[in-house]
Structure 1
Amino acid sequence: MDRYPAVAEVTESARLLVSRFPGTVRLRRIGASRAGRPILMLSVGHGPRHVLVVAGPHPDEPVSGATALTLAERIARGDRLSAATDPALVTWDIVLCLDPDGAALSSNSGSTLKSYYRSAFRPVASEQPEWAPIVSHPLPESRALFQLIDGLRPFLQCSLHSTDVGGSWVQLTRDLPELAEPFRTSADELGIPLQYGTYDALYWENPSPAVYVLPPPDGTGRPAAGPENIGLSTWCAPLRYGGVTAIVEVPMWATDLAADTTPYPAADLALRELAELVLDGGRQVTAVLDKARGFLPPAQDDPLRRVLEWMADGLYDMVADSWKPLARQAAAAAHPDDPRHLTTAQVSALNIVARRQPVRAAGLLLRLLETAEAPAAPGLHRELDELCTAWCTEFERALRVRWVPVRDQVEHQTRTVLAAAESALKTLR
């Protein structure tokens, strides 16, 4: 396996699995997207307990389709028989792609950061099925997933994610202590660094390396720049049935800085510089957007334009402002062992975010400029393409990134999901 399969390929492979394992593997439609695309689910086994696996929650995180197929085939074949994979005890329900509309706009092609950002698409928060319930914007994809959770009452939900640059980590709605060792062992065997510090979970409980526990719905801890009503998300829905959710992240490009726990010198200064980096990059993309607005398709008709306007309307500022408490904390650290010191891993995680946001916007705007017929479009495209090239080159240099083979991404995510299922099942006995 050397590339990410498209949704159509995942669907065709799922149908082949049904024909190869009749009775054991079933495929059914659980809903439809806003554009009418089917949302399909593979079920493996007939046990009374359920593991729910959700692939494709974010269309710019492409590993999940391959992981979904790998999980289904291994469980159907009985490769690693355990209580969690015993078809008489547990049914595995695997949603093949939660956001097929977004996937249709994201080819995730290429082996460089620039080619990736030029082809990837991630919708605004209110159009992301896992997050849309938080912002009171019901989507049919979200409703389908909520209905599935209410019907199955899974003891474990696994949401399959990947990150562009960094290491691997797991976010949980409740700690699974026995997950830590197999998760760490898998990463070590495959040469994938663990993410010791992530933008998504800077303030969360961290019971073991690269494992983070979501604050309770009524708690005060929040993601670094995340929504306040996270308790309403699909992640938290299994809690009402005693279940747990694991969000499993694997990197497309790895950086060993993600695992460097040494104190970062002058972290407060570094954070101020990173805040200016994201703000300056955002300003430059927005300046090109300002020149192109008159001939681009309107935001209500074009999802790429909607993302660009959403980012221009305060997202860069929100990201930069969210780091001010961390900068004050780092500045107040009094001695080398002061826990308020930030590590290299934590600063590198913010470095990734600071570079990601402007280049993500640049990739979207380049796609719009390529198809625009206005006389000014080619010149603006050249201007922005030069910026995008420089940013991606510096991104790769500053973080010292290396490509993680797709087969290794899939293997690590598959192993982690299986280990999470075994750990979660033991908590029920």
Structure 2
Amino acid sequence: MRGPDAYPTVSGVAAAARILSMRHPDLCRMRLAGESRAGRPLWLLSVGHGRRRILVVAGPHPDEQAGGATALWLAEQAVHERRRFAEADVTWDFLLCLDPDGTVLNENGPAGERPPAVHFRHTFRPHAAEQPEWAASLRTPREELPETIALLAIIDELRPVLQCSLHGTDVGGSWVQLTADIPGLAEPFGKYAAELDVPVQTGTFDALFWQGAGPGVFVLPPRGEQERFGSEPEAADGSTWSRPHLYGGLTALVEVPMWATRKVADPTPHPDPAHAVTVLGARLRKDGAAAAVSLERALPLLQQAGPTAGPVMRGIEQAVGAFPGLADEFERLATQSPVPLTMAHIAALDIAARRIPLRAAGMLLRLLDEARLDEDPSSEPARLRSRLERRIDAGARDLITTTDARWVPIPDQIELQARTVLAAVGLVM
């Protein structure tokens, strides 16, 4: 089964799921599981009638757009293999988009293959406290996001044996994060990645402190042990990822790249990791200072920004505020790394150090566009916009050139993510 050549929209995914339900009313059903902060529906599609539930969550991060199509791919597969899943007493449940408000903000860019600069030009990455999966670890119960409340309610109702969260990365490889081990998953995952020519990422920024369970498969450390950089406030233990553990289940996060680079798959020990991370830390400080200056210059100009200004601005402010602490963390790795740093680790850290300023510049440029400011080339808004555009063009070009990355066809992104989910399901059934 091949996926589409473009990322489907939030409404497009819901429409396709509704058609599937109408075609197979004996097997499929859709219901409203909640509403977003802006009142958009959170749709849950269920396929099957078994007692063992598999929950698939698409759209947890709005700039990771393959998940909606992957959910449809898996739903159609569940219909096609209805007998096998019925014999296994399994029902599939698909939350079609966890953050529709944020995902819609990413839909103003091209839906298919795009130049890297165009991608970052249209990216929206919310503040961590406004990301529904992470928000549960950062907010009190009274402050929970409605999307988080809806997902937690679904988990409490269904008690899934496995929750699969569909994530993605802009540049890198594919990897899996598990809140508890699924023995044997690394083998089929590696096989599928090889067949689709997608590198298995053996060193990651996200899972640097997680335990390896085979190439590209990482398991959450035991409670109380460090799981993320200290400057990052969110914690997996308090997130929606951990909720299935109350009922004997676990969560698998499946990451697939838009642009793939083999540098993140190189397990060779780095010849001088201390120097490498020190250089990366210095670059983070430099880029962070430039981003802070741009933000300071933009603030007086953004009084007339559009209705999305609030969440976008909070995303920018978190990104800009993260630079100093993250630079400290990178430099600390020179003497206190949790693992021996390989070429893959340094490549992943390098990508992260380049990605954050690109996201900040892209979101700030979005707000300047929405504010409909003076177009006179000599005006302050025009000069700032031009500066940000040059920064995105040069930074995105350097990111792709330095990593020798290539675009991964969207059908391959979807197929790898879906087949990895199926492998995980097969191992827990």
TM range (shorter): over 0.9
Structure 1 residue aligned with 2:398, among 374, 394, 398?
394
Instruction: Map residues 59-138 of structure 1 onto 2, 5 A cutoff.
Output: 59-78=62-81, 82=84, 85-86=85-86, 89-107=89-107, 108-109=109-110, 110-136=113-139, 137-138=143-144
Q: 1:422 to 1:340 in 2, by over 3 A?
A: closer
Contact kept, 8 Å, 2:228 with 2:235, in 1: the verdict is no
- CA drift of 1:345 comes to 0.2
Matched, 1:304 2:312: yes
Contact kept, 8 Å, 1:133 with 1:233, in 2: the verdict is yes
Contact kept, 8 Å, 2:128 with 2:234, in 1: the verdict is no
- CA drift of 1:239 comes to 0.5
Aligned twin of 1:242: 248
Aligned twin of 2:345: 346
Contact kept, 8 Å, 1:222 with 1:228, in 2: the verdict is no
Aligned twin of 1:6: 9
Q: 1:300 to 1:419 in 2, by over 3 A?
A: closer
Contact kept, 8 Å, 2:227 with 2:235, in 1: the verdict is no
CA distance, structure 1, for counterparts of residue 172 and residue 361 of structure 2: 21
Contact kept, 8 Å, 2:163 with 2:251, in 1: the verdict is yes
Q: Say how many residue pairs are matched.
A: 412
- CA drift of 1:221 comes to 2.3
SS of the equivalent of 1:249 reads strand
Matched, 1:411 2:387: no
Aligned twin of 1:160: 166
Matched, 1:141 2:147: yes
Contact kept, 8 Å, 2:138 with 2:234, in 1: the verdict is no
Aligned twin of 1:48: 51
Percentage of identical aligned residues: 48
Give the TM-score, by structure 1 length: 0.92
Q: 1:260 to 1:408 in 2, by over 3 A?
A: same
CA distance, structure 2, for counterparts of residue 204 and residue 186 of structure 1: 23
Aligned twin of 1:22: 25
Instruction: Map residues 167-316 of structure 1 onto 2, 5 A cutoff.
Output: 167-216=173-222, 218-225=223-230, 226-227=232-233, 229-297=235-303, 302-312=310-320, 314-316=321-323
- CA drift of 1:414 comes to 0.4
CA distance, structure 1, for counterparts of residue 343 and residue 160 of structure 2: 37
Contact kept, 8 Å, 1:53 with 1:94, in 2: the verdict is yes
SS of the equivalent of 1:363 reads helix
Letter in 1 for 2:295: L
CA distance, structure 1, for counterparts of residue 324 and residue 30 of structure 2: 44
Contact kept, 8 Å, 2:312 with 2:363, in 1: the verdict is yes
Give RMSD over aligned pairs: 1.8
Contact kept, 8 Å, 1:329 with 1:341, in 2: the verdict is no
Contact kept, 8 Å, 1:58 with 1:122, in 2: the verdict is yes
Matched, 1:385 2:389: yes
Q: 1:257 to 1:301 in 2, by over 3 A?
A: closer
Letter in 1 for 2:400: E
- CA drift of 1:277 comes to 1.6
CA distance, structure 1, for counterparts of residue 408 and residue 309 of structure 2: 36
Contact kept, 8 Å, 1:282 with 1:357, in 2: the verdict is no
Contact kept, 8 Å, 1:285 with 1:384, in 2: the verdict is no
Aligned twin of 2:424: 420
Instruction: Map residues 353-368 of structure 1 onto 2, 5 A cutoff.
Output: 353-368=352-367
CA distance, structure 2, for counterparts of residue 268 and residue 70 of structure 1: 44
- CA drift of 1:227 comes to 3.4
Letter in 2 for 1:89: D
- CA drift of 1:28 comes to 0.7
Q: 1:340 to 1:206 in 2, by over 3 A?
A: closer
Aligned twin of 1:37: 40
- CA drift of 1:271 comes to 0.6
SS of the equivalent of 2:12 reads helix
Structure 1: 5+ residue stretches without partners:
331-338
- CA drift of 1:35 comes to 0.8
- CA drift of 1:422 comes to 1.1
- CA drift of 1:301 comes to 5.3
Contact kept, 8 Å, 2:365 with 2:388, in 1: the verdict is yes
Structure 1 residue aligned with 2:334, among 315, 327, 335?
327
- 1:151-182 Cα offsets, whole Å, 9 max, x none, are 10000000000011111100001110121211
Structure 2: 5+ residue stretches without partners:
none
CA distance, structure 1, for counterparts of residue 395 and residue 309 of structure 2: 29
Letter in 2 for 1:220: E
- CA drift of 1:228 comes to 5.9
Contact kept, 8 Å, 1:170 with 1:248, in 2: the verdict is yes
CA distance, structure 2, for counterparts of residue 229 and residue 158 of structure 1: 18
Contact kept, 8 Å, 1:30 with 1:41, in 2: the verdict is yes
Instruction: Answer with 106-115 or 271-280: which moved more.
Output: 106-115
CA distance, structure 2, for counterparts of residue 37 and residue 119 of structure 1: 21
- CA drift of 1:317 comes to 1.5
CA distance, structure 2, for counterparts of residue 267 and residue 241 of structure 1: 42
Structure 1 segments of 4 or more deviating over 6 A?
none
SS of the equivalent of 1:30 reads strand
Give the TM-score, by structure 2 length: 0.92
CA distance, structure 2, for counterparts of residue 190 and residue 301 of structure 1: 39
Letter in 2 for 1:180: A
- CA drift of 1:311 comes to 2.1
Contact kept, 8 Å, 1:300 with 1:306, in 2: the verdict is no
- CA drift of 1:206 comes to 0.3
Q: 1:256 to 1:406 in 2, by over 3 A?
A: same
